[in-house]
Amino acid sequence: MLDDYFRHYGLITIFALIAVAIPVGMLLVSTSLSIIGIRPNKPDVVKKSIYECGFETLSKRWSGFNSRFYAIALVFVVFDVEVVFLFPWASEFGYMSSKFGAFVLIEMVVFVAILVVGWLYAYRKGDLEWT
């Protein structure tokens, strides 16, 4: 029993160490190469120019990004992820309702109510308006 415990958590520990070691190693190699001078840093006019999807730019300055697009994308991602949680529940509802009774239904009603409150908040705040 104890051997299985250490074996499973040992694997988790190894994977966690690898997950931390790879990005840290990449950062260290990149930083050391830039300090040594091996990594080239030759900025020129073309590299510093504004690039807009292959088209000529309309102005010479960097234009700000409209934060409404970011807010709508964020709201979409939040609600899209929450809908992903509804599919497994809906597919297993018959099995779960026979096993757990009304608890499962009440739990999902509370979950959807929280989503509706979040949607109403975003709507009343005006985050879902394009104009």
- Average pLDDT, consecutive stretches of 10 residues, N- to C-terminus, the chain (131 residues): 74 93 95 81 73 64 71 83 81 72 81 88 81 64
* 127 close to 72: Cβ distance less than 8 angstroms: yes
* 97 close to 104: Cβ distance less than 8 angstroms: yes
CA distance 42 to 58: 26
In this prediction, residue 1 carries a pLDDT of 60
In this prediction, residue 63 carries a pLDDT of 64
**Token digits of residue 22:** 């790879």
Residues in the chain: 131
In this prediction, residue 44 carries a pLDDT of 78
